Amino acid sequence: MANNVLVIAEQRDGVLKKTAFEMLGAGTELAAALGGQVEAALLGSGLGDLPNALAQHGAAKVYVADYEGLATYSSEGYTDTLAACVGKIEPAIVLIGATAMGKDLGPRLAARLGVGLASDCTALEIDDGRLLATRPIFAGKALAKVKLNGDPQVATVRPNVLSAPEPDTGATATVETVEALIDNARAMVVDIVGAGEGEIDVAEANIIVTGGRGVGGPEGFAPVRSLAKTLGAAVGASRAAVDAGWIEHAHQVGQTGKTVTPNLYIACGVSGAIQHLAGMKTSKVIVAVNKDPEAPIFNVANYGIVGDLFEVVPLLEKELQALLAE
């Protein structure tokens, strides 16, 4: 129905991404303003109880394609399956997380549906019956408010910016099976090889501890990694550290790295260049450790510690270890 909001709920290995819940929260408000309901589409294999979790976070109906071939993300398979599903149910708005998967899927799906796309949005509202999406542009220096012509209105939503609703454990949803259209896909994912085994991806992390040129060399990342381990955090890096070959590019945060919005971002020996800020400025709480009190990173930091990171970071870790042990 043309007043409904459809959330594409991403899962990996049977675990729903937090963005799915965040979008259901936003989708509920958008649907209420349109006089419709929020629904979810869930693709994968062995999805078990996941539709129930989506119901508990607001989905009135869940469209499920549970098929072996959809176990890992497939550009063609997911686009074909979702395009058919969206074409049939005709929602007013389609929301997709601006995750690695969503950044691939969103433009493909919009193109397939012959409509525009508002990408990497940080706020969503209804204005005059249409979606009004806010998206950072020019590396976060300005915010654009965009409206899309055509239906459905498709948007990708930056993870960790919107808040997820509290689950209502009594809520249920209608579940409808949709056909998986993947068997004719021209390309299949045959294997996924993780970068560093056991390492948390910065794009997914709730807490990130980042090292910049100030760490001085590959071995200088030791206190950064140690603090990250204590906090269960991902290790981030500035481009200067990556370009110097001290750490792999997968860790890079910024304009030419990853855009992150963790709850806590600890920048150690990072000056705060505009291209770095572009990737992490929307973090909820920013802590900066830098020996230069004039470093621009302090302009965006909620907490700033002026000092040598090799002294400050181990002390910080010790204090946090004591707090976590309480």
Ligand X SMILES: Cc1cc2nc3c(=O)[nH]c(=O)nc-3n(C[C@H](O)[C@H](O)[C@H](O)COP(=O)(O)OP(=O)(O)OC[C@H]3O[C@@H](n4cnc5c(N)ncnc54)[C@H](O)[C@@H]3O)c2cc1C
211 by Cβ neighbours in 10 Å (0-12 / 13-18 / 19+) ranks as buried
74 vs 290, beta carbon nearer ligand X: 290
Encoding tokens for residue 39?
A: 């629904």
93 closest CA partner among 175, 158, 33, 167:
33
Query: Which backbone phi and psi does 322 adopt, to 5 degrees?
Result: -65, -45
Distance of closest approach, residue 102 Cβ to ligand X, in angstroms: 20
Distance of closest approach, residue 168 Cβ to ligand X, in angstroms: 40
Taking residue 275's Cβ as centre, other Cβ atoms within 10 Å add up to 15
| Three-state SS annotation for 259-303 | CCCCCEEEEECCCCCHHHHHHHCCCCEEEEEECCCCCCHHHHCCE
What distance in Å separates the CA atoms of residue 312 and residue 216, rounded to the nearest whole number? 15
Query: Which backbone phi and psi does 143 adopt, to 5 degrees?
Result: -115, 130
Closest CB to ligand X belongs to which residue? 254
156 vs 238, beta carbon nearer ligand X: 238
What distance in Å separates the CA atoms of residue 148 and residue 152, rounded to the nearest whole number? 9
What distance in Å separates the CA atoms of residue 216 and residue 269, rounded to the nearest whole number? 9
User: What angle, rounded to 10 degrees, do the helices at 309-325 and 222-231 form?
Assistant: 20
5 vs 203, beta carbon nearer ligand X: 203
| Three-state SS annotation for 62-76 | EEEEECHHHCCCCHH
Residues of the shown chain interacting with ligand X in the complex, contacts defined by CB under 6 A: 212-214, 238-241, 252-257, 269-271, 273, 275-276, 279, 289-292, 295, 308-310
27 vs 220, beta carbon nearer ligand X: 220
206 vs 275, beta carbon nearer ligand X: 275
Q: Which residues of 250-259 are buried (b: 16+ CB within 10 A; e: fewer)?
A: bbbbbbebbb
- Which residues does 317 contact at the CB level (< 8 Å), separation at least 6? 223, 226, 227, 230
Distance of closest approach, residue 232 Cβ to ligand X, in angstroms: 23
Distance of closest approach, residue 267 Cβ to ligand X, in angstroms: 8
Distance of closest approach, residue 319 Cβ to ligand X, in angstroms: 18
79 vs 238, beta carbon nearer ligand X: 238
58 vs 254, beta carbon nearer ligand X: 254
Task: List the beta bridge partners of residue 127.
Answer: 130
Distance of closest approach, residue 100 Cβ to ligand X, in angstroms: 16
68 vs 243, beta carbon nearer ligand X: 243
Distance of closest approach, residue 306 Cβ to ligand X, in angstroms: 9
71 vs 310, beta carbon nearer ligand X: 310
- Which residues does 192 contact at the CB level (< 8 Å), separation at least 6? 72
Distance of closest approach, residue 326 Cβ to ligand X, in angstroms: 28
Distance of closest approach, residue 280 Cβ to ligand X, in angstroms: 9
The residue behind tokens 């500035």 is 238
